[in-house]
Structure 1
């Protein structure tokens, strides 16, 4: 066998292992669990009424999306006591005032808007906002906190189903990865792959096991037991985290809590990323933080992405041009396996299957975004978000 054939075979073996040995990450069947084993059993805390919930929404310059997201929270049909706290994190576009206007005269969950001011040193903006929102929520003595981003729209039964899942299965953290917007051409190409790569890194089946093999959450929608949050020291213990959702899940797990993560059917992100530049900034602002700002991990990631995603089409074409049958066969087979594992995610996002063979091209874009994230870090730009830059934030601290 030629060196090209060995490289192609290595990629094929890697893809067979990913197909069968990485927690079946490519399947999209991890959805919110049924509230109770008994179909006619009431979905509530055992022996009592529906628990009190406080929804905490950190918001910074979200006036564009708030008219679509906030009313969906206020209109929740939750049968127990619940209210919404929106934390205006230093907005300059009238986010807090708009939230109050949207709630004025509306029936549904009550809304409180708080403005904590600029973050203290050592805090990221979102976690600073969550700190104040959670502190205010604790005065209401809730059993659960729903932490949800300002760009997330919820169907009317979203909160009820989340609480039913948490109480029915004794979960401390229930998180759903909101279905991201897929409208522009670049969104269709990049967004499903973003979720696919996340699932590959943190297989949901591994997270949801009673003896978990991985830990993660999706920050856009997190239902959290209030006493577990207090026991875990949240959000103080993760105050510098840019990858705050993974950090939160790890803190809950360290405190002995059970974590569940799945794909959402009733929760959607409405934030638009119409251009490649918008998506590029979204990925690049935190990619190097996920690698713990480690150059060796960056090199390994680049090499891994190249072997796994770029090698199959390259060896297929090179094998055909050079008349190297084994290389072409192994490269083509690896590309076929890769394509097949991507199809379920495209179906979840209601996208055409012809996008699946383009995954190597999308992976190349993600590779370049990751390298750019490192370049920005070493230029002192760090993780930039809405006018704030965190030069050296933490990723997901283990303690």
Structure 2
């Protein structure tokens, strides 16, 4: 009697999981497709000026692979690079100047804003300083790009052309992350897959849709839109600053676009599991707004959507329940099929697709660890700074 009830429960849960996957397949903005790339673009009659802002903290390891790609941009208009050294201890600023002397190209200004005041994250304080330097040159657009991002020579030109052609206030490209080690192959494509599932790119670019997101490594922003949305002051306390930035721009009437990049790559290595774990766990609980109930709901959702299908299939085969296997197997198959396009985009073998439940379980553990670290007062730790919880802003009661 007890075994019959247990099997019946497994069948119902597996059926619910399959329904969840059918909904994700057809009703979540076709998140699994990877064809959202820079929209059609024509050559502008006149190329607008651009200020490129690069916040950098202890980036001497990756700067030789990224900064020269910015300085060598083949851009027909006026462009200038502003690298903001955010209290680096590894000679980042001096190295940037040396790279500019060695490679030439676009003009480079290196400056430092000092330590961020209360209520600011270090990166956004650096971005604020960089935007201030850039605005002194009165650029029409700002390119906010991380210090670990390498750009193809025509990357800036194509981004500006797309922004002009589509009349976008913000164009953001999800940089192709490095995928070389076994752990990177297992975890990194799933990171982008999960992000697209949360923020379907097609919905982000749709006028009137509430979904707003950006990829902080590469954001082209119209200066007028930044002023209207009070960027970065309006999001100065945000740990997940790219999504907060997109919401601020879209919330003030801006037209935004987000898609996968073909010519923008991250050169930052995450060779070991602990490196990837730190990358995810430092902001996962912030994504849940530091709310325990959202954490519980997320854990249950991950279990239902990603872990139940293979477990139900296995239970059905072991216990002789054809119904459990009939629901669990197709759910796992749909999951695997939706992951394949992302693996193709990252040029990875498709046999990794059925391993997505294991990867999702790792993300579940990272998310729980993020909450544990937050409640221990360690919060979002990054390069010597810790943001234990969002600090109240000076103008908030």
Q: Do the aligned partners of 1:289 and 1:394 also contact (CA within 8 Å) in 2?
A: no
| 1:84 aligned to which of 63, 81, 85 | 81
Q: Do the aligned partners of 1:383 and 1:393 also contact (CA within 8 Å) in 2?
A: no
Provide the rounded CA distance (Å) in 2 between the counterparts of 1:153 and 1:5.
Answer: 49
| 2:22 aligned to which of 16, 39, 49 | 16
Q: Do the aligned partners of 1:292 and 1:394 also contact (CA within 8 Å) in 2?
A: no
| 1:322 aligned to which of 299, 311, 319 | 319
Provide the rounded CA distance (Å) in 2 between the counterparts of 1:379 and 1:321.
Answer: 42
| 2:174 aligned to which of 174, 177, 186 | 177
**Aligned-pair distance for 1:3?**
1.6
**Aligned-pair distance for 1:4?**
1.3
Partner of 1:343: 340
Provide the rounded CA distance (Å) in 2 between the counterparts of 1:225 and 1:330.
Answer: 48
Q: Does 1:309 align with 2:306?
A: yes
Partner of 2:190: 193
SS of equivalent to 2:147: coil
**Aligned-pair distance for 1:257?**
0.6
| 1:230 aligned to which of 227, 232, 237 | 227
**Aligned-pair distance for 1:108?**
1.3
| TM-score where L is the length of structure 2 | 0.96
**Aligned-pair distance for 1:212?**
2.0
| 2:139 aligned to which of 131, 137, 142 | 142
Provide the rounded CA distance (Å) in 1 between the counterparts of 2:198 and 2:253.
Answer: 23
Q: Do the aligned partners of 1:232 and 1:255 also contact (CA within 8 Å) in 2?
A: yes
SS of equivalent to 1:55: strand
Where does the alignment leave 5 or more consecutive residues of structure 1 unmatched? 37-42
Partner of 2:110: 113
Q: Deviations over 1:77-123 (max 9, x none)?
A: 00000010000000000000000000015331010000111111110
Provide the rounded CA distance (Å) in 2 between the counterparts of 1:25 and 1:70.
Answer: 32
Q: Does 1:249 align with 2:246?
A: yes
Q: Do the aligned partners of 2:34 and 2:342 also contact (CA within 8 Å) in 1?
A: yes
Q: Does 1:73 align with 2:44?
A: no
| 1:96 aligned to which of 93, 96, 110 | 93
Greater alpha carbon shift after TM alignment, 208-217 vs 96-105: 208-217
Partner of 2:120: 123
**Aligned-pair distance for 1:133?**
0.3
**Aligned-pair distance for 1:2?**
1.6
Q: Do the aligned partners of 2:118 and 2:391 also contact (CA within 8 Å) in 1?
A: no
Partner of 1:28: 34
Provide the rounded CA distance (Å) in 2 between the counterparts of 1:328 and 1:123.
Answer: 51
Q: Which runs of 4+ in 1 moved over 4 A?
A: none
Provide the rounded CA distance (Å) in 2 between the counterparts of 1:361 and 1:254.
Answer: 37
Q: How does 1:211-226 map to 2 (within 5 A)?
A: 211-226=208-223
Provide the rounded CA distance (Å) in 1 between the counterparts of 2:251 and 2:204.
Answer: 14
Q: How does 1:41-52 map to 2 (within 5 A)?
A: 43-44=43-44, 48-52=45-49
Partner of 2:4: none
- CA distance 1:335–1:92, shift in 2 (3 Å): same
Partner of 1:361: 358
Where does the alignment leave 5 or more consecutive residues of structure 2 unmatched? 1-6
Partner of 1:40: none
Greater alpha carbon shift after TM alignment, 211-220 vs 120-129: 211-220
The CA RMSD measured in Å over matched residues stands at 1.2
Partner of 2:3: none
**Aligned-pair distance for 1:394?**
7.1
